[in-house]
Amino acid sequence: MKNSIKILAHFNTPFTEERNVLFLRIGVLIFCLINAIHNVTLLEYCWGEYKMSPTLSLGKFSSNFVNLLNEGGEGFAILLIIIQLLCLVGAIFLKYKRILTFVAYLASANLINSTYLMNSGGHHVILLILFFLSLINEGHSIVNSWSNAINKAAMLAIKIQVCMIYFISFLYKIIGQSWLDGSALWQTLMLDEYTLPIFKEIFVSNHFLLTFGTYFVLAYQILFPILIWVKKVRKWVLLCGVGLHLFIAFGMGLFTFGIAMVVAYFAFYVPENKISFKWYYKPSTRA
Amino acid sequence: MKEVHFPYVKGLIMICLLTFHFTCTYFYTAPDTFNSVKLEIISARYINPFFHQYWALFAPNLPEYNVVIEVSDKEGVWRNISREVLENHYAFRITEKGRLALAFTGIARSAAWECAVGRVNENDPEKYQHILKDLCRGYLRMNSTDNLRIRLTKYDLYSVKEGEFIF
């Protein structure tokens, strides 16, 4: 009973993760900037005359909001990219954080859903983070207020979502033979699109390393949702994760996924430093 | 009038919302072995419009073959598209080249599977072949009416040729 009360009372305590939110906002902005450069380079393949990708075509209700680019349209796509980036920058510097982030979310959803085939899981990670960020206004953190409670719930949602990714991914892997017999990493590096020729040369003959790597991924995915809540080991868990995701980004070539997961880690930890972020809008509204 | 204050009502509502959201997320994304078909369909109504996600890359089992894509117009000279997109992907790791490579190889593998197995999709038996043709036409800047033939060559992970499909 005491524990339940403690959990419920958590939503009344002041929101103290402003720095995490700021790093998340900057991380998402950098991801969207990289994605925008990709998209502009591929403009005619994404939305123009030579449109390549079929659309995600989500449910009817959301069609009016997040599938507006299904028929293509380079001009409209560029407009959405500009809106997305401006809103993300605005959400860092201005006080209308919720509305600006939500507009950025809608613009991003339209851009991402219409280029489904060229996306990775990273795009979905960023979309989900953006949605939850659109519920957060770190400037509104008056104790016992609804705004504060929503901030706390949304931040918790981002953390649970990251844990969920690992947990679900683990469930899929443990029903696969190649993961259980330790050959999955070798098999991945033998696939043309998920390898680098130099990696193949170095790793493919080293069976011990590849088997260890396979089981490490399995162990990491099931242990992350548990250990990340333990403050003492959190930093080390995230450090392992950064290594893993940089390997995925550069070694396996899933650049956007690797970077998106590293961005998501800011929900759990931001490095301490002496930067004061004076330019960052943060009114003192605490009671 | 005295204001009645419920200190934990916010917490209770937030916990309920989070529990609902992530229970639906679980049933939408979890593999069939750990899932209920009925609950998956119900949760899809909530998750699909705005929270679509899929976390089964490289699982449960990885593909056991590579596919080389070659294209040709009427004259019959085959151009190896796979080599072009993959070499760009290896050379420019952080650029958009990787996204092109992943799109091509992923669809080519599905198209080869479709060719080998036969009818995969009831509504459109040549679904992936059509998508691959659109991809190749876009890449080659061809019109949708231009004639295009695609040759997919399937290799196992030790680079031994397993089959060839032309469509």
Q: How far apart are CA A70 and CA A54, in angstroms?
A: 8
Q: With 70 as the cut, is the pLDDT of residue A12 above it?
A: yes
Does residue A35 lie within any of the structural domains? Answer: yes
- Using 50, 70 and 90 to split pLDDT, how confident is the model at A173? very high
A residues 88-107 near B, CB within 8 Å? Answer: none
Nearest-Å Rg of the Cα atoms of chain A is: 21
Q: How far apart are CA A162 and CA A261, in angstroms?
A: 8
- Average pLDDT of A127-137? 95
The token pair at A199 is 């990696």
- Domain span at A111: 16-165
A136 touches chain B (CB under 8 A): no
Does residue A28 lie within any of the structural domains? Answer: yes
- Average pLDDT of B70-76? 80
For residues B98 and A253, the answer to whether their CB atoms sit within 8 Å is: yes
Return the pLDDT at A257. 94
* Complex-level ipTM: 0.90
Return the pLDDT at A199. 80
Q: How far apart are CA B153 and CA B102, in angstroms?
A: 17
Does residue A245 lie within any of the structural domains? Answer: no
Kindly give, in sequence order, each residue whose CB lies less than 8 Å from that of residue A216, ignoring residues fewer than 6 positions away. A244
> For A10, what's the count of Cα atoms within 13 Å in the CB-facing half-sphere?
15
Return the pLDDT at B124. 74
A248 touches chain B (CB under 8 A): no
Looking at every residue in chain B, the average pLDDT score rounds to 86
Return the pLDDT at A287. 42
Q: How many domains does chain A have?
A: 1
| Contacts with A152 from chain B: Cβ below 8 Å | 14
For residues A210 and A203, the answer to whether their CB atoms sit within 8 Å is: yes
- Average pLDDT of A60-74? 75
Q: How far is CA A2 from CA A9, A153, B18, in A?
A: 10, 20, 21
In Å, how far is B73's CA from the nearest CA of chain A?
17
The token pair at A29 is 């902005």
Return the pLDDT at A134. 96
Return the pLDDT at A65. 80
| Sheet strands (E) in chain A | none
Q: Please report where in the chains the tokens 């659309």 appear, as a residue.
A: A55
- Average pLDDT of A189-214? 87
Q: What is the pLDDT of residues A210-227, one digit of tens each?
A: 999 999 999 999 999 999
Q: With 50 as the cut, is the pLDDT of residue A102 above it?
A: yes
